């Protein structure tokens, strides 16, 4: 009976190998997904920087057409303008990825 148990290749040894392989795969997936997250955040930061660098100011003048022979206008349109100012986080002014290291020693009162 002991010989049959020692020659048995199914069971504990195979499941131990599978647990080890699954653990390595899960750890690799965690590291890979973290790197994908950092890459996506970096690309979104690039897109937001490009959007923040766009100058969205505009200006157009109005026009009018006076009526012939009488006073007044037959057509009249006012002009408009907008001046785009720098927002809080334009040009990568905000640091949203990491905080400043904090000293973890006991505080004295």
**pLDDT tens-place string over residues 44-88:** 888 877 777 777 888 888 888 888 877 888 888 888 998 887 766
Domains identified in the chain, total number? 1
Report yes or no on 93 lying in a domain.
no
Q: What angle do CA 28, 30, 33 make, to 5 degrees?
A: 105
- What pLDDT score was predicted for residue 24? 94
Report yes or no on 90 lying in a domain.
no
Report yes or no on 26 lying in a domain.
yes
Worst-scoring range by mean pLDDT, 3-7, 25-29, 76-80?
A: 3-7
Report yes or no on 71 lying in a domain.
yes
Per-residue pLDDT at 13 exceeds 70: no
For 103, list phi and psi in degrees, rounded to 5: -70, 130
Alpha-helix residue ranges (DSSP H) falling in the chain = 2-7, 12-53
Report yes or no on 69 lying in a domain.
yes
Report yes or no on 18 lying in a domain.
yes
Q: Within 13 Å and on the Cβ side, how many CA atoms surround 91?
A: 5
Domain that holds residue 7: 2-85
């Amino acid at each position: 009976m002991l010989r049959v148990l020692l020659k048995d290749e199914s069971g504990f040894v195979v499941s131990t190998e599978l647990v080890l392989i699954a653990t390595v795969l899960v750890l690799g997936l965690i590291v890979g997904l973290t790197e994908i997250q950092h890459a996506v955040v970096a690309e979104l930061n690039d897109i937001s920087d490009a959007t923040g660098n766009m100058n969205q100011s505009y200006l157009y003048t109005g026009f009018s057409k006076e009526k012939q022979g009488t006073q007044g206008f037959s057509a009249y349109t006012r002009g408009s303008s907008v001046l785009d100012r720098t927002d809080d986080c334009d040009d990568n002014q905000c640091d949203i990825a990491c905080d400043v290291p904090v000293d973890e020693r006991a505080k004295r009162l």
